[in-house]
Amino acid sequence: MLGAMAEKWFGRGRDAGVLVYVSVKGGLGCGIVNDRSLFLGVSGSAGELGHMSIDPKGPECSCGSRGCWEVYSDEQAILDRAFRALRTSKDSLLFQWCIVENRRLTVDDIVHAANVGDQTAMEIVRESGWYLGIGIANIVNGLNPDMVIVGGCIAASEIVFDEINRVVQERGLQIPAEKVSLVPTGLGDKVALMGCIALLLDTLLEQPEGR
């Protein structure tokens, strides 16, 4: 939710009527802004789109359901792909860093390796982009947003966005898929802080005069 407000007030979503922010950091969360209003739903839980099921027979999620989008798309899912790939990819930079140098592998490492042409890392981020694209295509079909902004380390990969765009165009309904803009955040690690500021400003501006 904070990311959505930050982007609406200070980022790339300032001119968007309906904005969805997808945060791939830790888990997978979303925020929805309609005009300048944060959409919370009846009980305040709107935006838990990471728990929409994209495979009802898939792995169990922490929420107790199976095949949630988050299980395939969050940072842990990306790292799990990397660890599986290390078994057969000893020539990869990831193997050098994680096994030879005994470094703790991060999503930043995977994105960096992909950006410099490491084939194993490129396949990992491409697959991650595919799963992100599946969920975002569902969002595009269901909400018809002007813009979907993706935040988190994985958003720094052009390969990911190429795959997201491809999947959305392939699986999205024609009109909403053609209208939507799919972009990475431009706010970086400051997005949560700026989201807090945006919420404060939004609250202050909504208060009646004299209060």
Domain boundaries, the chain: 2-206
CB 51 within 8 A of CB 70: yes
62 burial (CB, 10 Å; 0-12 / 13-18 / 19+) is exposed
Q: Is 90 exceeded by the pLDDT of residue 90?
A: no
Q: What is the pLDDT, as a whole number, of residue 209?
A: 55
Yes or no: domain 2-206 corresponds to CATH 3.40.50.300: no
Across 120-137, average pLDDT: 96
4-31 burial: b if 16+ Cβ within 10 Å, else e: bbbbbbbbbbeebebbbbbbbbebbbbb
Q: Is 60 exceeded by the pLDDT of residue 74?
A: yes
Phi-psi region of 37 (alpha: psi -120 to 50; beta: other; left: phi over 0): beta
Rounded Cα–Cα distance for residues 196 and 28 (Å): 19
Give the tens place of pLDDT for each residue, 24-61.
987 898 999 998 788 888 988 888 999 999 999 999 99
The model carries a pTM of 0.90
